[in-house]
């Protein structure tokens, strides 16, 4: 009864206020202030803060353990360090100039942003982006900027010089990630074409995959590759890492909606079933072709499915997500077990084979699966399956060429000036003790 009374009085008060307000001509300033206040949504904001922390969990410890378990025990700490420090360094660069180059408007706005938001100048606690505080948006995007270079680390694990790695990734983030991010999400040419990349198929995974491939080729193979055993030293770590990546990926994909709404729900179910389908696809391939399904295969399949659904997660239906997960893991399995061996490059932890290949499968596959007849959300105005496919292919092409060329130049410059690889003796001894002066395991 008390409640009902209070509700009545509240309604009455609101009504009175409304009548009162309608008689007062509101100044434009007042309208603007009211709109700004209305745009922050606490539900969205709370979710985006959580999503940001989930992406952080993907990188450290998720990615670090996923990679760490795959190397030999003498290089365990070096991989953990490479991921951990890359993630930290990129976080700082994002604040200094990364965010500005990716998300501000600049003189070459089709390709890259300007420097007007360098040092996050002008952004305050009151700044709003969509329905969330801009600082939350900045931090969410920061985790993408910090995670993507950490993915590349896997391609030349066990042989790269730590200082050269950091220089390369700082330059790569500035000259490759920021422009591609601007082209896709910051209003540049890829978004103008109508390409769909919901959570980072081109920006994150194809980008990292291509840089990884170029890096693996420029650096050359590990000493003893193909002759000595380079079997993973701790697959349980890899399983834990893959599981953390899987869980964190909900922050990555669902968070990319930037709101807690219906689309977020679609993205959520799609992310889950694409990962699951990826696991099944990969282990069935192993079972058929090699006789035994493996834990490493299961973990690889999960990541493959997650990568493939990343660009597509808001435009396909759950059945489409399952198809995408299975198809991606079949193709990535082939890339990792056959293509890599026939081309003869040593992508230590299969960054290209998984992120590059599954990223491309996802970016192209969504043009078919987003059809409303196949359970997707349908095409944009004036777009069809064919035209979407062409646009997706173009967006991949731009990413591959930009990232490939710039990465190659950067690697070559660093190779000539600083050297990319550690000495043969250091590589034999292991990077833990020779680069970092510590060892992961004591007996």
Partner 1 sequence: MKFVTAIIKPFKLDEVREALSEIGVQGITVTEVKGFGRQKGHTELYRGAEYVIDFLPKVKLEVAVSTKLLKKVIEAIEKSAVTGKIGDGKIFVMDLEEVKRIRTGETGEDAL
Binding flag, residue 37, partner 1 (CB under 8 A): no
Shortest distance, CB of residue 294 to partner 1, whole angstroms? 7
Binding to partner 1 in span 173-192, by CB under 8 A: none
> How far is the C-alpha of 214 from the C-alpha of 219, rounded, in Å?
9
Closest by alpha carbon to 71, among 374, 435, 433, 431?
Answer: 431
Binding flag, residue 423, partner 1 (CB under 8 A): no
Shortest distance, CB of residue 190 to partner 1, whole angstroms? 31
Q: How many residues bind partner 1 (CB under 8 A)?
A: 18
Phi first, then psi, for residue 152 (nearest 5°) are: -65, -30
Q: Which residues, in sequence order, are bridge partners of residue 128? A: 133
Binding flag, residue 229, partner 1 (CB under 8 A): yes
Among 292, 381, 382, 425, binds partner 1 (CB under 8 A): 292
Residues 365 and 308: beta-carbon distance below 8 Å? yes
Binding flag, residue 284, partner 1 (CB under 8 A): no
Q: DSSP assignment of 112-165, as one string? A: ---STTGGGTT--TT-EETTEEHHHHHHHHHHHHHHHHHHHGGGGTTTB-HHHH
For partner 1, the closer of residues 62 and 297 by Cβ is 297
Shortest distance, CB of residue 441 to partner 1, whole angstroms? 16
For partner 1, the closer of residues 297 and 430 by Cβ is 297
The one-character DSSP state at 87 is H
For partner 1, the closer of residues 161 and 340 by Cβ is 340
> How far is the C-alpha of 266 from the C-alpha of 370, rounded, in Å?
13
> How far is the C-alpha of 146 from the C-alpha of 90, rounded, in Å?
5
Residues 58 and 147: beta-carbon distance below 8 Å? yes
For partner 1, the closer of residues 72 and 182 by Cβ is 72
Shortest distance, CB of residue 280 to partner 1, whole angstroms? 17
Within 8 A by CB and 6+ apart from 322, the residues are 273, 274, 276, 277
Query: Element (H or E) spanning 305, and its range?
Result: helix 295-309
Mark 329-368 with x for binding to partner 1 (rule: CB under 8 A) and - for no binding: -------xxx-xx--------x--x---------------
Residues 321 and 314: beta-carbon distance below 8 Å? no
For partner 1, the closer of residues 235 and 247 by Cβ is 235
Shortest distance, CB of residue 229 to partner 1, whole angstroms? 5
Q: How do beta strands 128-129 and 132-133 pair?
A: antiparallel
Among 167, 230, 319, 383, binds partner 1 (CB under 8 A): 230
- CA distances in angstroms from 378 to 315, 382, 400, 424, listed in the order given: 7, 11, 27, 55
Binding flag, residue 294, partner 1 (CB under 8 A): yes
Tokens of 175: 């000259």
Shortest distance, CB of residue 232 to partner 1, whole angstroms? 6
Binding flag, residue 143, partner 1 (CB under 8 A): no
For partner 1, the closer of residues 40 and 230 by Cβ is 230
Residue 191 CB-half CA count within 13 A: 18
Binding flag, residue 296, partner 1 (CB under 8 A): yes
Binding flag, residue 297, partner 1 (CB under 8 A): yes
The one-character DSSP state at 421 is B
Within 8 A by CB and 6+ apart from 352, the residues are 155, 209, 210, 212, 213, 216, 335, 340
Question: Length of the chain, please?
Answer: 443
Shortest distance, CB of residue 442 to partner 1, whole angstroms? 18
For partner 1, the closer of residues 292 and 442 by Cβ is 292
Among 35, 110, 290, 439, binds partner 1 (CB under 8 A): 290
- Helix, strand counts (H, E) of the chain: 21, 2
Binding flag, residue 305, partner 1 (CB under 8 A): no
Among 106, 113, 200, 232, binds partner 1 (CB under 8 A): 232
For partner 1, the closer of residues 7 and 290 by Cβ is 290
Window contacting partner 1 (CB under 8 A); options: 12-20, 294-302, 386-394, 404-412: 294-302
Q: Which residues, in sequence order, are bridge partners of residue 133? A: 128
Judged by DSSP in three states, 419 sits in coil
Shortest distance, CB of residue 121 to partner 1, whole angstroms? 46
For partner 1, the closer of residues 98 and 359 by Cβ is 359
- CA distances in angstroms from 405 to 110, 356, 400, listed in the order given: 19, 16, 8
Shortest distance, CB of residue 274 to partner 1, whole angstroms? 20
Window contacting partner 1 (CB under 8 A); options: 34-42, 241-249, 271-279, 295-303: 295-303
Residues lying near partner 1 in the complex (CB under 8 A): 229-232, 286, 290, 292, 294, 296-297, 300, 336-338, 340-341, 350, 353
């Amino acid at each position: 009864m008390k409640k009902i009374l209070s509700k009545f009085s509240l309604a009455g008060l609101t009504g009175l206020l409304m009548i009162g307000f309608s008689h007062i001509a509101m100044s434009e300033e007042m309208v603007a202030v009211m709109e700004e206040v209305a745009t922050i949504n606490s539900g969205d904001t709370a979710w985006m803060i959580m999503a940001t922390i989930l992406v952080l969990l993907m990188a450290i410890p998720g990615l670090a353990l996923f990679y760490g378990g795959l190397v030999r025990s003498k290089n365990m700490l070096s991989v953990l360090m490479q991921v951990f420090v890359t993630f930290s360094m990129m976080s700082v660069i994002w604040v200094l100039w990364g965010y500005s180059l990716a998300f501000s408007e600049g003189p070459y706005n089709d390709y890259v942003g300007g420097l007007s938001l360098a040092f996050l100048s002008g952004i305050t606690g009151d700044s709003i982006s969509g329905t969330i505080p801009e600082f939350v948006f900045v931090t969410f995007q920061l985790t993408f900027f910090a995670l993507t270079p950490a993915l590349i680390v896997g391609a030349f694990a066990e042989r790269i010089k730590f200082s050269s790695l950091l220089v390369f990734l700082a330059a790569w983030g500035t000259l490759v990630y920021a422009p591609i991010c601007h082209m896709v999400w910051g209003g540049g040419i890829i978004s103008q074409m109508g390409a769909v990349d919901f959570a980072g198929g081109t920006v994150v995974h194809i980008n990292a995959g291509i840089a990884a491939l170029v890096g693996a080729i420029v650096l050359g193979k590990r000493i003893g590759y193909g002759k000595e055993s380079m079997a993973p030293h701790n697959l349980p770590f890899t399983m834990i890492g893959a599981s953390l990546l899987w869980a964190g990926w909900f922050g990555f994909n669902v968070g990319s909606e930037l709101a807690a709404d219906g689309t977020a729900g679609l993205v959520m179910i799609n992310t889950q079933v694409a990962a699951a389908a990826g696991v099944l696809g990969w282990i069935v391939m192993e079972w058929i072709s090699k006789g035994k399904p493996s834990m490493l295969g299961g973990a690889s399949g999960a990541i493959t499915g997650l990568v493939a659904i990343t660009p597509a997660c808001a435009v396909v239906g759950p059945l489409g997500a399952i198809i995408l997960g299975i198809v991606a893991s079949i193709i990535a399995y082939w890339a990792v077990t056959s293509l890599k061996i026939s081309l003869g490059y040593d992508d230590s932890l299969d960054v290209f084979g998984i992120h590059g290949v599954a990223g491309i499968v996802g970016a192209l596959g969504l043009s078919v699966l987003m059809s409303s007849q196949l359970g997707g959300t349908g095409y944009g105005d004036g777009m069809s399956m064919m035209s979407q496919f062409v646009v997706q292919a173009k967006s991949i092409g731009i990413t591959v060429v930009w990232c490939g060329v710039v990465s190659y130049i950067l690697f070559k410059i660093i190779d000539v000036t600083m050297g990319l690889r550690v000495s043969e003796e250091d590589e034999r001894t292991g990077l833990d003790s020779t680069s970092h002066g510590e060892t992961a395991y004591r007996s």
